[in-house]
Chain A
Amino acid sequence: MRMNRRRALAALSGLAAAGLTGCSAERPLRVAVVWSGWELARFRRVLEGEPVTVYSAGNDIAALLRKPVAPAATPDVAIVPQPGLIRDPEIRSRLQPLTSQDPSFWRDLVTGPGDGQAKGVWFKVAYKSLVWYRPEAVASPPTGWEAWWALCRDRAASGRPPLSVPAADGWALTDWFENVLLGHAPDLYGRLHLLDPADWGDERVAQAFIRLACLWSIPGLVPGGGRRALVTQFHDAILDVFRYGRADMVAGPDFAWPVIDRYRSPGREARWFRFPCSAGERPPLLVGGDAVVALASSEERGERFVARLTGGEMRERLAPWARAGGFLSLGAGLRDDDYPAPVRPLARELRELRELRGLAESGKPGAQATGRSIAFDLSDQLGGALAGGDGQGLWRILTDLFAAVAVDPCPPGKAEEAARTAHAAAVEAAASRADGS
C-alpha cells in the first residue's frame, strides 16, 4: 500500500517536472489562415509534426491584423487572400519586411506605395481565367467571346444546355464579371478597387455587365433553367458537366481540377480553354492567391517560417497537395511534374510572368509579354458596400443580374436594361463608400 502511494507520488512529481520543462520550451508558432474544410486540412497536413498551431480566422483575418489584440491572440504568421490588407498602412506597420523571390507583378501587390518593401510572400496562387469543358461535347474551343456566345446560343437552341453556371456562389459570378471586364477595359479594371464612383460610372463597366447579361439571357443556356442555376453551387456545376453530362462547359479556376478528378464519370476527359475575350482585346488573366506575412511581434521566428514555407525546403510536403490539385505555387521548389497534367501549363505560365508589370496598382501599364492582361481578383480587393459575402455587395449585384436575365425569358432589350440596373447599383454602392467613411 505504502509502496503504491510512494510510486504514485513519484509518478506525479515526474509529470509535474515534465510539465515545467514543457512550459520552458519554445511555444508553438501561431499561424492564422482563412481557409476552412479541405484546404485547411491540407495545410495542416503540410505542417504536421512542426511546432506550429494553425487556426482558421475566417473572415476575421482583417480585424486580426488591424487591431492590436492581446499577445495570446496575436498570430505570428498569417496567410492573407487580400493583398489590399498588406498594402494598408495601418497593417503594414505591424508586419515585417520579407525577402521575396516572387515575380514583380506579385511582389508589387504586397509592396507599400511609400516604403518599397515587400511585406508578403505568395504561398498559393490561383488561375481564374479558365473554362473547363468536355472534349467529346465541344470539338474545338471557341476563339473569342463572339464565337463562344454563338456556340452557346446554337447549342442551347438545339436543346443541349452548353454551360453550367454556379449562380448560388457569388464569387463564381464575380469571377465571370472580372474576366469580361479585364478583357474589355484592363486599365480601368486596375483602378476600380479604389472605389472612385467616377471609375465605376464609366460606360465600359456598363458594357461588361451588358455582355454578361447577353450571354446569361440565352434561353436554355443552363441545365434546368436559371432558377436551378441559382441553387447550383460551384461543385454542383462541375458535377453537372463532368459527372452527369448535363452541360458541356463550366467557367472555373484551376482549383476546379481536384473536384473534376474526384467526381467525373469513368473515362470522361476534362480540358480547359482560356476565358474568351472580344476581337481586338487582350485575353484576360485573372489571378487570385494567398500571401503569407510575418507579424513584427514574431521577430525572426516568423521570418524563418515564411522562408521555410515558400523557399523550397517544404517541397516534399507540398508536392502531395500540388499533385492533388488546387495548389499552384510561384516557387516553393515545386517542379512542373509535381502538378497534375491539366494544370501544369498554368503553373508554368504564372511562374513565367517574372518580368511583367501588374495592373492592380493604378496607373501602371498593362502586362504585355504574353499578350495577356493580368490582374488580381477585384472582389477580393473591394471594401465598403461593394465588399463580397453571401447576399452582399458585388456578389449580390451579380446574383440579382443573373436572376433578372436567366430565370424568365428575357429579350435582348430587357437584358440590357437589367445590366444597366446592375451597373447603377454598383455605382451607388461605390458612391456610398465615398460619402460614408
Chain B
Amino acid sequence: MSRDDAFLFEAAPYHDMRAPAKSPGRGRWKAWLLLLPAAGLVVAGLLVPLAATVVTSLTGKGGLDAYRDVVNDAQVRTALRNNADWLGLALVVCALGLGLAWLARGVGPRLRRLLVVALTLPTVTSPLTAGVIFRMIFAPDPGLGTVNALLPEPVLFTGRGWIWLVLGLAFAWQWTGLAFLVFHVGLANLPEDLLRVAGAFGAGPLRRLRAVTAPALFPTAAVALLIVLTAAARVFDLVLVGAPGSVQPEVDVAGLLWWRRRTVLGDERAAALAVLLTVTAVAVALVVLGRLRQDWPHAERPWRWPPQPAPGGPRGPRRTAAGAGDARWPRRVAAGAVTGLWAFPFVVLLLTSFRSPDAVATSGWWTGGYGAGSYGEALDGGFFADALWATAQRGLLAALLVVVPAVMAAYALTHAALPRRARRAATAAAVVLAVLPPQALAAPLGWALGGVLGSTLALSPVHAALLLPLGVLLLRNAFMSVPRPPVTRPVAPRRTARRSALARVVGEAAPAVATVAVLSFVLVWNDLVVSLLLNWPAADQAPLTMRQASRYFTTSAGELAAQGVLMTAVPAVLLLVTGGWLVRGLTQGVRR
C-alpha cells in the first residue's frame, strides 16, 4: 500500500512477516505436513467435486453446448442479472457500514455499546429468520404489516417491484453490522502519527485521505467486502422465504434457480449453471484478493468489548473537552435512531412469537393477544426440538473439523518454514475457495456420499470443507500478528520447541481461534442451502423444519416467529458471551 506514495514509504512502519531463521529440509517437510489435513479436506470436499461438476458440464452433447443453452435461457439470464444486483447492494452495505462506523466515533460508550449490539446481532441471525421477519413487517394487509399500518394507502410490498425493497432491506439489516464492526475498528486504529506527520508536511485533507486513511482502511475493508460479497453471491434462503411464489421468477437468483430446475435442466446444463455461479463468485473474490496480498489487518491498539476509545489515545482529550458534548448531540440522536431501527425487527419477532397463532394470523403485533401458544405450536410433538439438537450436533462437529486443520494450516502459512511462494499460492487458493457456492459441489457430493447422506457424520465434513478456507484466512491474519521471539529454536530439543511454538501462537491468537470456532458453528447452525441440497432424505435440520412450516405464511407466522426466536437465541447468546473475543478475532486476532 505504501509503495504508491513515496512519502509514506519512508514513514510507514515496516512489518517483517518472514520467519526469522530459514530452516532447511526437515522443517519444511513438517510445514507441509501441517498443511496436510486442511489440504485433504479441501481436495476431497471441494476440489474433486468441483472438478467433477466441470467435467459433467463439458461432457454430454459436447464442448460448450451446455453453457450456450444455459446462457440463452431467459430465466438464467434474469437470475444472473439479479446476482449482479445483489453484489452491487453488497457494496452499498459496506459503504453504509463505513458511514455508521464514522457516526459511532462521536457517541458515548453506553450508546455505542447498544449500537454495536443492535448492529451485530442480525449478522448471526439466519437469513431464513431475516426473511420471515421482513415479510411480517412488510405484510400487504394493513391489519398485519407494521409498515402498511402506518401508511394511508396500503402498498403491496411483497408484490412485484416492491419485493426488492423488502429483500434488500433484510440483506442490509443483516450485513451492515459486520461492515460496521470491521470499519469501526479500522477507523479507531488509523495511524494518527502518520496523519500528523502528513499534516506537518503540508498534505491537505484530500491527500491525507488518499495517502493515509484509505490505504489504512483497505485491509480491514477487504475482510468486510469478502464476507458481504460472498453473502450476496450466495443469497438463497432470504429470497426463498421472503418472496411469495408468484414473484419468485422476478427475484430468482442463480443458486435458487439451480436448486429448482436442476432436474429439468439435466445434468450437463445444471452443472454448467453451477460453474457459471462459481465463476461469478470467484471473480468477486479475485477483486478482493489483490488487496489481501497486503498483510491485513494490522491493528495495534488494545480492544475492549464493546469497542471503546482507547484511554489516553490521541483523540482522548478532545473527547472529554468541555462543550464537545453539545456538538455530539446530532450524532447521538442519529446513533440512537439507528440503534432503534436495527433493533426493531427483533422487537417485532419477539412480540409476534409471544402471541397466539390465531392472533398472529389475523391481527398486528400491536393489538395484543399475548400468550405462549405459538411456542406450543412450534414445539408440538418435539420435532423442532429434535431438529435443534441435531443442528447443534452438526454445528459442533463441523466447528471442530474446521478449527483443527485451520490452526495447523494457518501456522504452516505464517510461522513454519514454508517457502514464500507456497504461502502465497495457498493463501490465494483459500480466498478463491472461501466463496465456492455449495451448488457447484452438491451433485457429485450427493452421488459420492450416497447412503450415508443425512447423517451428522457425513455432512459435518462437507460443512467443514466449505468453511475451512475462510477459517484459514482469518487465522492466518491473526497468527501473522503474533510476534516471533528473536530466538526460537535453541532453547529446547527440537520437537518440544516446535510443539510449544504452535501452542504459543495459538495461545496468543486465542481470540481468532475462538472466532473461527464460533463463526463455523453459527454458519452451520443457520445453514439452509447445504441441508436442502444434501441433507436428503432425513430432514432433521432446524432451518429445514422452519422452511417447511413457511408454506402458508400468514397462518403459520406465529409458529415461524417462535421458531425464529429459538433459532436466533443460540447464536445471540454465543455472540453476547464471546463478543469481545469475536471483535478482536475478526479484526485483529491476537490477545493483546
In contact, A73 and B381 (Cβ under 8 angstroms) = no
Binary B-proximity of A396-424 (CB < 8 A = 1, otherwise 0): 10010001000000000000000000000
In contact, A233 and B548 (Cβ under 8 angstroms) = no
Known: A73-B453, A73-B454. A263 touches B358 (CB 8 A): yes
Known: A385-B264, A391-B245. A233 touches B552 (CB 8 A): yes
In contact, B362 and A75 (Cβ under 8 angstroms) = no
Q: Judge if B199 is at the interface, Cβ distance under 8 Å.
A: no
Is chain A's binding surface mostly helix, strand, loop or mixed?
A: helix
Known: A58-B539, A234-B552, A239-B554. A437 touches B361 (CB 8 A): no
Known: A69-B451, A263-B358, A437-B266. A231 touches B158 (CB 8 A): yes
In contact, A395 and B140 (Cβ under 8 angstroms) = no
Nearest residue in A to B249 (C-beta to C-beta)? A391
Q: Nearest chain B CB to A402's CB is how many angstroms away?
A: 8
Q: Judge if B556 is at the interface, Cβ distance under 8 Å.
A: yes
In the bound complex, CA of A233 to CA of B358 (Å): 16
In contact, A384 and B450 (Cβ under 8 angstroms) = no
In contact, B156 and A390 (Cβ under 8 angstroms) = no
Q: Judge if A117 is at the interface, Cβ distance under 8 Å.
A: no
In contact, A170 and B246 (Cβ under 8 angstroms) = yes
Q: Judge if B27 is at the interface, Cβ distance under 8 Å.
A: no
Q: Nearest chain B CB to A62's CB is how many angstroms away?
A: 8
Q: Which of B75, B261, B381 contacts A45 (CB 8 A)?
A: B381
In contact, B548 and A58 (Cβ under 8 angstroms) = yes
Is chain B's binding surface mostly helix, strand, loop or mixed?
A: helix
Q: Judge if A236 is at the interface, Cβ distance under 8 Å.
A: yes
In contact, A71 and B451 (Cβ under 8 angstroms) = yes
Residues of B within 8 A of A44 (CB): 381, 383
Q: Nearest chain A CB to B442's CB is how many angstroms away?
A: 12
Nearest residue in B to A429 (C-beta to C-beta)? B264
Known: A170-B246, A259-B555, A391-B252. A231 touches B537 (CB 8 A): no
In contact, B264 and A392 (Cβ under 8 angstroms) = yes
Residues of A within 8 A of B266 (CB): 436-437
Nearest residue in A to B540 (C-beta to C-beta)? A55
Q: Nearest chain A CB to B448's CB is how many angstroms away?
A: 11
Q: Which of B75, B246, B249 contacts A231 (CB 8 A)?
A: B246
Interface size for B (C-beta < 8 A) is 45
Q: Judge if A343 is at the interface, Cβ distance under 8 Å.
A: no
Give the residues from 73 to 102 in chain A that come closer than 8 angstroms, CB to CB, to chain B. 73, 75
Q: Which of A71, A230, A384, A395 contacts B247 (CB 8 A)?
A: A230
Give the residues from 499 to 555 in chain B that come closer than 8 angstroms, CB to CB, to chain A. 536-540, 548-549, 551-555
In contact, A230 and B548 (Cβ under 8 angstroms) = no
Q: Judge if A313 is at the interface, Cβ distance under 8 Å.
A: no
Among A72, A259, A262, A403, find the residue whose CB has the most chain B CB atoms closer than 10 A. A72
Q: Which of A70, A168, A392, A403 contacts B260 (CB 8 A)?
A: A392
Q: Judge if A114 is at the interface, Cβ distance under 8 Å.
A: no
Q: Judge if B380 is at the interface, Cβ distance under 8 Å.
A: yes
In the bound complex, CA of A170 to CA of B246 (Å): 7
Among A243, A396, A437, find the residue whose CB has the most chain B CB atoms closer than 10 A. A396
In the bound complex, CA of A75 to CA of B451 (Å): 12
Q: Nearest chain B CB to A284's CB is how many angstroms away?
A: 24
Q: Judge if B208 is at the interface, Cβ distance under 8 Å.
A: no
Q: Which of B246, B247, B455, B536 contacts A57 (CB 8 A)?
A: B536
In contact, A64 and B556 (Cβ under 8 angstroms) = no
Q: Judge if B244 is at the interface, Cβ distance under 8 Å.
A: yes
Q: Nearest chain A CB to B202's CB is how many angstroms away?
A: 61
Q: Judge if A369 is at the interface, Cβ distance under 8 Å.
A: no
Nearest residue in A to B451 (C-beta to C-beta)? A70
Residues of B within 8 A of A395 (CB): 245
In contact, A56 and B539 (Cβ under 8 angstroms) = yes
Q: Judge if A235 is at the interface, Cβ distance under 8 Å.
A: yes
Q: Judge if A36 is at the interface, Cβ distance under 8 Å.
A: yes
Residues of A within 8 A of B37 (CB): none
Nearest residue in A to B240 (C-beta to C-beta)? A390
In contact, B245 and A169 (Cβ under 8 angstroms) = yes
In contact, B537 and A236 (Cβ under 8 angstroms) = no
Q: Judge if B28 is at the interface, Cβ distance under 8 Å.
A: no
Q: Nearest chain A CB to B255's CB is how many angstroms away?
A: 14
Q: Judge if A51 is at the interface, Cβ distance under 8 Å.
A: no
Residues of A within 8 A of B264 (CB): 384-385, 387, 392-393
Binary B-proximity of A368-396 (CB < 8 A = 1, otherwise 0): 00000000000000001101011111011
In the bound complex, CA of A391 to CA of B140 (Å): 20
Residues of A within 8 A of B244 (CB): 168, 230-231, 233
**A168-B244, A259-B555, A392-B264 given. 6 additional CB < 8 A pairs?**
A37-B549, A72-B455, A168-B245, A227-B156, A230-B247, A387-B263
- Using a CB–CB cutoff of 8 Å, the interface residues on chain B facing chain A are 75, 140-141, 154, 156, 158-160, 244-249, 252, 260-261, 263-264, 266, 358, 361-362, 380-381, 383, 450-455, 536-540, 548-549, 551-556
A-B complex: 4 closest residue pairs judged by Cβ atoms: A70-B451, A36-B548, A390-B245, A391-B249
A-B contact pairs, 23 of them (CB 8 A): A36-B548, A36-B549, A37-B548, A44-B383, A56-B548, A60-B536, A69-B537, A72-B451, A72-B455, A73-B450, A73-B451, A169-B246, A224-B140, A230-B159, A231-B247, A233-B244, A243-B362, A259-B555, A263-B555, A391-B75, A392-B264, A396-B249, A437-B266
